[in-house]
Chains A and B, each alone.
Chain A
Amino acid sequence: MSGPKYPSEFSKLGKQADLHDQNSPGSASSQDSAIPPSAENKTHKGITRRGFLKGAGVTAAGTALLEGVQVFNREAVAATREERQTGVQEFGPGPMPVTLHVNGHEQTIQIEPRTTLADALRVYMGLTGTKVVCDRGSCSGCTVLLDKTPVNSCMLLAMDAVGHRVTTIEGLTKNGEMHAMQAAFIKHDAMQCGFCTPGMVLACSALLEKTPKPTEEDVRQAISGNLCRCGTYPRIFAATLEAAGVSSLDPTRSA
C-alpha cells in the first residue's frame, strides 16, 4: 500500500477540502486514504510522524542539541536534494501555513510540520475539548473523528488531516442541539471526572454511524481502546445502547 499523497503546494490543500467526499467513507486513516492529486497531477509521498521523529531522534543523539538543530537542517536539505530524484517532498522544519477543515469550518494555522493534530487543535485553535492524556496512542483520550473514523489525534500529524473533515467534541453539538450521544451520556450520568468523556462520546457516536443497532459487545469493542480511570464503562454501554434505541442490556452488568 502506498503512503498518503500530497500535491506539491501543500498549503493549497485545505482549499480542496471537499475533495475528500470522493473518498469512500470509513477509510479515513492516514495510511489508507489517498487524497486526489492536485491539478498539476503531481503527487508526493508524505512524511509520517514516525519517520520524522526517527530523523529527529538520530540527530538528537549527536552532541549538543543546538548544533544538532543545524545538523538537522543540513540533513534535511541533503535529504530534499536526494529525494527530489525520487519524487518525495520534504516539509519544514519551520512553520508553514496548514489549512484544516474542523467542525465544518476551514482554518489556516502556522505550524511546524511535526505538529500533531492534537496540538494543532488545542494549542493553535483553542479547541481544548480534545484531551491529551498519554500522548502516545494508548488511551484514546484525544479521539477526534477524521471524516467518520475515530483516530488518536496525538498520533496523527496535523498535515495528515489536511483534506479530511475533522470533528472534535465541540463540533458534535450542532446549532446548539446536542448530539443524541451527548444527551444519552448526560441522562445515564456516564461520566465522573469527565476527562475521558469527549473521546468516549466521539467513539460511541462513530460506532452508531457505522452500526446503528449495536450490541453491548459492539459498544465494548468500540471503546476498548478508551481508558477511563473513574469506572464509568457500564453507564457508557447503557447510554450508547439507549441512544441507538437498543435496550437489551444484560441486567447483571449494568450499574
Chain B
Amino acid sequence: MATKEILSSAEALLGVAADATTTPAGMETVMMPVGVPGYTLRQESRTVPATEPPVLPVNADLQYIGKSPQRWDAQAKVSGSGRYTADIQLPGMLYAKFVNASIPHAKIISIDTSAAEKVPGVKGVYVIERVLGPAVLRNPGLEVSRYPIVRYAGQPIAAVAATLPHIAEEAALLVKVQYDPKPFVVDMDQARQPDSAQVFPGPADQAGSAGGGGGPHGVPQTGNVHGPSVHSKGDFEQGFKDADVVVESRYTTQVQTHSALETHGVVADWKPDLLTVWASTQGTASVREELAGFFKLPKSQVRVITEFVGGGFGAKFGPGNPGVVAVALSKQTGAPVRLMLNREEEHLSVGNRPSSDQTLKIGAKKDGTITAIQLISYGTAGCGTGAGCAGPAANLYTWGALNTQENDVFINAGPASAFRAPGHPQGVFALEQTIDELAEKLNMEPLELRDKLTRIPCVASSDRLLVRAPSGSPATPGRMRTQDRSSVAWACRNRSGTAIS
C-alpha cells in the first residue's frame, strides 16, 4: 500500500505513468486527480487521447469554476425582456384554443364545427385525428371509431384559431361534439374491482418520453390492472424464512401535477420550406424529431426554438397535442399559431406523477443484513402507464433476494408523464420508512443500518443526511454524534406523509 502511494506520487510529479509501453497509439497514460476534495481525492492513472486538453488548473486560476458568476440571462429575467414561448408575438399570429372533452369516457359520434367557423375572427378549426398521451390498444381493432376515443374529461378533441384569444375561446365553445357516453371509473381502488368500468376494451401500452416515464410493454392485463411487471432475483421466499426480523407495511402516495408556472404550449409558423416552432420544452431535439415524424418532414426542415422556459419538471419533452395541433392549424391557415394551455388544461391533460399503493416487506438478520425485499405496488397513471416505483427498493441497499411486482391501474383520467425521477419519490417514501422500522425492530440506529446497507461506500449515508440536517445545526462535514444522527432520521420520518401499517 505504502509503496503504491509513493509510486503514485512519483507518477503524479512526472505527469505520465512510468510504464507507457501498453498505451495504444494516439493515446497517453497520465496521472490525474479523481474524487471529491476533502473526501476521496486521489491520483489515478488514466489512458486518454493524446489530444485531450490538460487537467484543469486549481480553481483559483480559473475564470468561472469556483467563482460565483452572474447568471447569463439574469438581466433578461429581472427586466421582463426574456421572451418565453408564452411571450412570442409574430405578425399576423393567431391564438388557438382547445375544445376539450366534457365527459370522461365516450365514443365521439360527430363533431360540428360550422358555428365556430362562422365567428368573425376565426381563421381555422382543426379536429384531432390522433390524440397523443393515452396508452394505445395492442389490438386497435377492438375499437372502431372515426375520432379518437375520449378516455378522460379534458382530453383535447379539436382546436380553433382566431385573431384574438377571447374570440378563439368563444368559438371553441361553439364546437358541438356529440358523444356516445361509456361507463367510466376515476378511482383507483374501484378500478381494481372485477366489476369496474373498463378504461380500455383490451390490453394497452404506453411509451415513455425522452424524459423517461412510460411503462412496461407486453405485461399481462386483467381488467384495468396492467401488470404485474415482475422482477425477481434469488429466492425471496427462502430469504424471508432465513430472516430474524420481518417488517411489512403499506404506503400510499397521491397523484401530483407538475404545475410549471409556464403552461405547455407552442407557437408554430408553418412555411413551405421550413417549420419554425417556439416551444415551452425541455427538449428541442425531441420536439423536432416528433414533429418531423408526425408531419413527415425531413428534420432539417423543422426548427425548434426555446430561449426561456418557465419550468418543465419532466413533463415538457415532446410536442404533445398542443404542438401537433398548433402546427396543423398553422399549416391550415398559413399564419403563425400560438397555442398555450390554460391552468385547468395544464392540470388535466399534460401529465402527472402517478399515485402509489405499495406493500413493502423486508426481512433481515440480527446484524441488519437484508435477506429479502418484496414490493407489490399499484398506482394509476390515468389512461397511461408508468406507475412503477420499484427502483429504490431494487437499487438503494444491498439485499439477498428481491421480488418486485409493479402494476399500473387504468382510470379515466389524464395520462402521466415523466416527473423528476419517475417512480422514485414514491418508492423512497415507502423504502426509507420501512428501513426506519426495521432499524427500530433491530434496535439499531437508523443511520448506522443505512451505512451498513448502502451500495455507495465512499459516501456514507450519514454524510448525505448531514447536509439535510434541520435548521439550527450547521451543515459541516464530518460525522454527527450518535444521538444527533438518530434524531435527524426520526425527524425526517415524522415529516413524511401518509403511512398505513
The chain A residues found within 8 Å of chain B, CB to CB, are 60, 64-66, 69, 112, 114-115, 119, 122-123, 126-136, 139, 141, 168-170, 172-173, 178, 182, 185-187, 189, 191, 193-198, 201, 227-230, 252-253
Looking at chain A's contact residues, the main secondary structure is loop
B103 vs chain A, min Cβ distance (A): 18
* B79–A65 CB distance below 8 A: no
B322 vs chain A, min Cβ distance (A): 16
Q: Does B128 contact A (CB under 8 A)?
A: no
Q: Does B74 contact A (CB under 8 A)?
A: yes
Taking CB atoms and an 8 Å cut-off, the chain B residues in 157-174 that contact chain A are 164-166, 170, 173-174
B345 vs chain A, min Cβ distance (A): 11
Contacts of B109 in A (CB 8 A): none
A204 vs chain B, min Cβ distance (A): 11
Given the known interface contacts A133-B343, A186-B70, the answer about A65 and B80 at a Cβ–Cβ threshold of 8 Å is: no
Other A-B contacts than A170-B80, A178-B75, 19 sampled, CB-CB below 8 A, are: A65-B174, A66-B119, A119-B166, A123-B164, A128-B83, A128-B86, A128-B89, A133-B310, A170-B81, A172-B79, A185-B74, A186-B71, A186-B75, A189-B71, A193-B262, A194-B82, A194-B310, A198-B78, A198-B80
Looking at chain B's contact residues, the main secondary structure is loop
For the complex of A and B, the 8 pairs showing the least CB-CB separation, nearest first, are A129-B80, A195-B310, A194-B77, A128-B87, A169-B80, A252-B471, A195-B261, A182-B78
> Would you list 5 pairs from A and B whose C-beta atoms are within 8 A, ordered by A residue?
A69-B170, A170-B79, A186-B70, A197-B78, A230-B311
Contacts of B78 in A (CB 8 A): 169, 178, 182, 185-186, 191, 197-198, 201
* B81–A66 CB distance below 8 A: no
Q: Does B309 contact A (CB under 8 A)?
A: yes
* A191–B174 CB distance below 8 A: no
Q: Which of B78, B83, B174 has the most CB of A within 10 A?
A: B78
The chain B residues found within 8 Å of chain A, CB to CB, are 68, 70-71, 73-84, 86-87, 89, 115, 118-119, 164-166, 170, 173-174, 259-262, 308-311, 313, 342-343, 471-472
CB-contact partner of B174 in A64, A122, A127, A169, under 8 A: A64
* A252–B472 CB distance below 8 A: yes
* A126–B89 CB distance below 8 A: yes
* B165–A123 CB distance below 8 A: yes
Contacts of B472 in A (CB 8 A): 252
Given the known interface contacts A112-B166, A133-B343, A134-B343, the answer about A66 and B80 at a Cβ–Cβ threshold of 8 Å is: no
Contacts of A129 in B (CB 8 A): 79-81
B337 vs chain A, min Cβ distance (A): 15
Contacts of A139 in B (CB 8 A): 261
Closest to B82 in A: A194
Contacts of B77 in A (CB 8 A): 191, 194, 197
Closest to A184 in B: B78
Contacts of A134 in B (CB 8 A): 343
Give the distance in Å from the alpha carbon of A96 to the alpha carbon of B81 in the complex. Answer: 29
A200 vs chain B, min Cβ distance (A): 9
Closest to B118 in A: A66
Q: Which of B70, B73, B343 has the most CB of A within 10 A?
A: B343
